[in-house]
Structure 1
């Protein structure tokens, strides 16, 4: 057993990539991420110009954001971070990023699904708006976890409108979670939209209100990223071959 192979990193440095938000909205997301730092886990913030902070989000905006997030992952690696996580349950740039950098790139929705699997069997997902359900269902399907997400509900507001409608969103979110538990037999709630929770709502408070675990997309991927990096685990180069095009290009 060698020192270099078995010694865990301390502290682990995890970068959190935040897109282009209005300054107040950016600070909310920054604070939510930094709240998961600890003596063992250092969290740093990297900004990128792309953002899903638009009305009527479609797959087009998601695809267009990927290059900026991949560039941010490269920046994180160059700055010496041990792992990187993008903001948001759209898992922006993750699949491509894993072929570009040699540090773990952790997808928030993927992390939530696997973490929830340790806590229950029937997941209920809460999104911002009904129009987003097909987009997020496709992401869940990509990870082969569709059978575990048994029901979906929405809090009723588009992303840019959530902060201005906090009281109504809170009521809708909690009632939606209760209905998922009561009507659909869900035993874990997935906050499929980080602005709802944990940016605006405390997941521990929501859990007390609804009576089942609440898994959200900032704490779950950040702590999972730290664990993988601390154990010196990396993405498989059989699954994610190294990109030659990115090796030739400057960051």
Structure 2
């Protein structure tokens, strides 16, 4: 098998999340197969306010970056952001595999339990997650969404402080326990930032329910998708949801200011 090259799309840039980026790069290097390289690319976020409008703006950059990744010879494109903004659109415009942190984490949780739940970092994300769960057809499998209360930039500070790390762990458990009491069997941190933070905890469990780290899950899904494509030619369906637009439409989107 030839080496695999993966574009990992963070929704944070190095300037705003140096501690997170450094930890992420080290984590990725430790989990990939021999011969796989993962290159992290960022987006300058609005780190002081979590909102669907910010997700929409980031989604446009993600779609354009997926096209760039394919043109630059990457074998797969990973959306390393749990909200998966831009996933379906990116998947519809490139032939390389596009896998995403939220979708991969939720689908993998289905192999571990009948019912899983999400604990996100901010209450304003809860409606987004419910829409996301519905889009993936997982309403009966991902049955609850709770939230801590951090803005994106605020939770990044936990990478630089033991006290901050322990506070996030405690607040996560506080929101997770009612989910477990209600029948949730696997807990999913609703974001790459808390997932990577919790990777410091070996066999992280809250009241018997494992807390999954979706970063290895999505990277391994990307590696597997590349291998299957090389072995069998398997790619995303073009029969409906992910039908490809004509090349000129893609070019217009890539070159038109603000994509309007």
Pairwise TM-score range, normalised by the shorter structure: 0.7 to 0.9
Which one of the candidate residues 180, 186, 204 is aligned to 1:188?
186
2:110 maps to 1:108:
no
Q: Work out whether residues 117 and 179 of structure 2, in 8 Å CA contact, stay in contact via their aligned partners in 1.
A: yes
1:203 deviation in Å? 6.8
Which one of the candidate residues 22, 26, 33 is aligned to 1:31?
26
DSSP 3-state at the match of 1:98: helix
1:77 deviation in Å? 1.2
DSSP 3-state at the match of 1:84: strand
Q: Work out whether residues 115 and 215 of structure 1, in 8 Å CA contact, stay in contact via their aligned partners in 2.
A: no
DSSP 3-state at the match of 2:6: strand
Alignment of 1:14-29 (within 5 A): 14-21=6-13, 22-24=16-18, 25-29=20-24
CA distance in 2, matches of 1:248, 1:43: 29
1:145 deviation in Å? 0.7
1:122 deviation in Å? 0.8
CA distance in 1, matches of 2:42, 2:123: 29
CA distance in 1, matches of 2:12, 2:192: 15
Q: Which moved more, 1:81-90 or 1:9-18?
A: 9-18
Alignment of 1:75-154 (within 5 A): 75-154=68-147
DSSP 3-state at the match of 2:21: helix
Q: Which residue of 1 aligns with 2:222?
A: 225
1:74 deviation in Å? 1.6
1:248 deviation in Å? 6.3
- What is the number of residues matched between the two proteins? 239
TM-score (norm 1): 0.84
DSSP 3-state at the match of 1:169: helix
CA distance in 2, matches of 1:61, 1:34: 29
Alignment of 1:155-174 (within 5 A): 155-164=148-157, 165-174=164-173
1:60 deviation in Å? 1.2
